[in-house]
Structure 1
């Protein structure tokens, strides 16, 4: 076997080492395998959002690559990781937008399948405070299959260290990807967005769950408003078998909940322009850090900087920062 190919056993060791809180780096390296959604993002910007039934004039409009899966793959690639993406795109006028956007970020799209349907669409509205609301229409994303996921794992699992997934694809497929990743010894990160109830059997297979305060509230039934309530919600995930929970609190930082401890990570203060994809920047950089052998706390700190920078720019994928930009920002703090 070539020296640069890791076995399932060595990946299991990496899985344990990468998530240790000791601050010691894991000696193993691998790619980030992202299973998820891809969309064309249609975004409008206006001073405020319209009331129901109201027509309101906006200030600007963008059409760019988006989707939580694609955004996170782009973020992982821009962070410096070897990123691979598994998903479906339509055979329509948005196909080139998707494929070129992923390729330009250095993402391997061997397992991005073109299907006879429209590319997924996200309609995003952003107000002057940078807050947004989103309607996501899956379309081609609904064509992702267990067989496609299995083929991707056959090709990539041996050289991947982390599997990152979300809930914009059919949730049964998210659970299938989690099971496959766990069987192959990959570190499993779940961004449970949009929030959806999952089978209890899936929680023990997740190494790190990364919900924001809204998703944590919906999944646990615990209203998350601050670090104390975030810890309570984090314990809910751990009680169901998740190894660690990382609750993000928008501009108020994030809280890591582990079996025997918690740790709060301070937010970075920036001028907010558009919060779209900030969570994707965070998740992609987090996965990249762990895949490259960083300890969990270092990976979280770098991910926090990436998420902060993402809100200073408009759009989804265009707002995802490059590694040099993130590292310079961290140095300047």
Structure 2
């Protein structure tokens, strides 16, 4: 049976503009490059899986409105399987409003809407998808949906012995008792600091944070650095994957590219250090384009970038 990425979490209709100055610098800002896109963490990961040639199953909620077509249209065209996406009557599809200044460091306002509107039927659809997944499958999920749904899905994946890769956004929703059930976690520095209750501001503190997640029972922990690199703690040791020096045009969706490709690498049987290398390469390439899904690179480009980064990969716990 084919390998499958199950992607559970947020599905958004993105509205994105480029601005000359960051929001807050003046009362009214002129914007350009307006676009309407498919977005959301789960949607972005699912899209990446199709670029890498895998079966991709999206699990989540959209509203019973016209924005659902915007959120799902690009995924449908790419071949993502959408039977696990259910409609939430009386709720709008989630909307993400994104401004991208010259630095590329986007700012997002998210109206979570249908992402938070789950019922028993929708949960049953997720359980059924996990139960029907082939043995070679990985569940990748985020916390931009209710905590109870995340817990249910992780427990269902554990019953199937499927690896679970968690993007812990929003970190305040994560239930501490889930750590031993998670195969890999991919927070950024702010999320890691929130989850651990300790400052994470640079590579040494990120290395300590990654090791702390291991102590909580997570076999693989990647802390994404602001410069585009990451710190990985796994059974083989603690590794630093450096930034590649690509000028950021738009950071939208780069973190989702990281988590998605990390999960895809595990799906393909790659070791943790190789998965982190692939993930960092995917995130690097994502910031060079505009938007999330339109900027994502496929397998050939990601692996070529990973080879460029490989000479700088090093252990930091020797």
TM-score (norm. length: structure 2): 0.90
Residue in structure 1 matched with residue 126 of structure 2 by the alignment: 149
* Alignment deviations for residues 206-248 of structure 1 (CA, whole Å, 9 cap, x no partner): 1111101111111112211222101221232222221221111
Among residues 261, 264, 282, which one is paired with 1:306 in the alignment?
Answer: 282
Among residues 108, 114, 138, which one is paired with 1:140 in the alignment?
Answer: 114
Is the contact between residue 71 and residue 281 of structure 1 (CA under 8 Å) also seen in structure 2? yes
Residue in structure 2 matched with residue 51 of structure 1 by the alignment: 24
* Alignment deviations for residues 163-182 of structure 1 (CA, whole Å, 9 cap, x no partner): 10001111221121111111
Residue in structure 1 matched with residue 104 of structure 2 by the alignment: 130
Residue range with higher mean Cα deviation, 234-243 or 207-216: 234-243
Structure 1 residue 98: Cα displacement? 2.5
Is the contact between residue 76 and residue 287 of structure 1 (CA under 8 Å) also seen in structure 2? no
What is the alpha-carbon distance in structure 2 between the residues aligned to residue 212 and residue 50 of structure 1?
Answer: 22
What is the alpha-carbon distance in structure 2 between the residues aligned to residue 227 and residue 221 of structure 1?
Answer: 17
Change (3 A) 1:197 1:167: closer
Among residues 76, 92, 106, which one is paired with 1:118 in the alignment?
Answer: 92
Residue in structure 2 matched with residue 35 of structure 1 by the alignment: 8
Structure 1 residue 199: Cα displacement? 2.4
Is the contact between residue 168 and residue 174 of structure 2 (CA under 8 Å) also seen in structure 1? no
Residue in structure 2 matched with residue 71 of structure 1 by the alignment: 44
* Alignment deviations for residues 262-293 of structure 1 (CA, whole Å, 9 cap, x no partner): 11112221111010100111111111111122
In the alignment, structure 1 segments of 5+ residues that lack a partner are 5-28
Q: Secondary structure at the match of 1:148?
A: helix
Is the contact between residue 154 and residue 181 of structure 2 (CA under 8 Å) also seen in structure 1? yes
Residue range with higher mean Cα deviation, 92-101 or 34-43: 92-101
Structure 1 residue 63: Cα displacement? 0.9
Residue in structure 2 matched with residue 14 of structure 1 by the alignment: none
Residue in structure 1 matched with residue 153 of structure 2 by the alignment: 177
Residue-pair matches, total: 305
Structure 1 residue 194: Cα displacement? 2.3
What is the alpha-carbon distance in structure 2 between the residues aligned to residue 201 and residue 190 of structure 1?
Answer: 14
What is the alpha-carbon distance in structure 1 between the residues aligned to residue 238 and residue 306 of structure 2?
Answer: 23
Structure 1 residue 159: Cα displacement? 4.1
Is the contact between residue 91 and residue 119 of structure 1 (CA under 8 Å) also seen in structure 2? yes
In the alignment, structure 2 segments of 5+ residues that lack a partner are 310-318
Structure 1 residue 107: Cα displacement? 1.4
What is the alpha-carbon distance in structure 2 between the residues aligned to residue 267 and residue 217 of structure 1?
Answer: 21
Could you say what the CA RMSD is over the residues aligned between the two structures, in angstroms?
Answer: 1.9
TM-score (norm. length: structure 1): 0.86
Q: Secondary structure at the match of 2:276?
A: helix
Structure 1 residue 40: Cα displacement? 0.3
What is the alpha-carbon distance in structure 1 between the residues aligned to residue 225 and residue 154 of structure 2?
Answer: 25
What is the alpha-carbon distance in structure 1 between the residues aligned to residue 27 and residue 214 of structure 2?
Answer: 44
Structure 1 residue 260: Cα displacement? 6.4
What is the alpha-carbon distance in structure 2 between the residues aligned to residue 277 and residue 320 of structure 1?
Answer: 9
Say if 2:68 is the partner of 1:91.
no
Residue in structure 2 matched with residue 288 of structure 1 by the alignment: 264
What is the alpha-carbon distance in structure 1 between the residues aligned to residue 250 and residue 283 of structure 2?
Answer: 11
* Alignment deviations for residues 68-120 of structure 1 (CA, whole Å, 9 cap, x no partner): 11011111221222211111122222222223211222211121112323111
Q: Secondary structure at the match of 2:233?
A: strand
Is the contact between residue 61 and residue 85 of structure 2 (CA under 8 Å) also seen in structure 1? yes
